Structure 1
Amino acid sequence: MKTSIIALAFAAFAASGLAQAADTTTTSAAAQTEQSGTSRIVASQKTRADVRRELVQAQKDGQLAGLSTLYRGS
């Protein structure tokens, strides 16, 4: 009887250890994705004038109006 209880406890601890290891891996992958996204933003720096120019161009092209109708919802 004690042997089966010990075996069951060992199996439960092993399963919980695997679950925690999987959670750590997921968190690590999310952190790496976040870091790579941050480095991409830093690598493509735009000036305020560049962004303002793109905004004005998008307004003239009607892209912003298209986005507002797209995201208006039902």
Structure 2
Amino acid sequence: MKVSIIALAFTAFAASAMTVSAYAANPAVNSATANSGSYDAQQATQWAPVQPATTAKTRAEVRQELVRAQKDGQLAALSKIYQGS
């Protein structure tokens, strides 16, 4: 049970890291945010997402990922890492 919780937490962390890196990769958004104190109408840029928004997964999809991780050995590797050995 703990291994599956760790695997799901790892997946959530990876998804959030991808979101943060997508924001950091867009210099127009970062410069517009940094210059928000001296806003000029001519400097306005339209923000567009770098990657399409991800959709929420259903329980069935999460279970399929968990079964796939068990079969290919990812969960066994995680349990070995977090065993404390």
Normalising by structure 1, report the TM-score. 0.41
User: Which protein is richer in helix relative to its size?
Assistant: 1
Larger radius of gyration: 1
Q: TM-score, normalised by structure 2?
A: 0.36
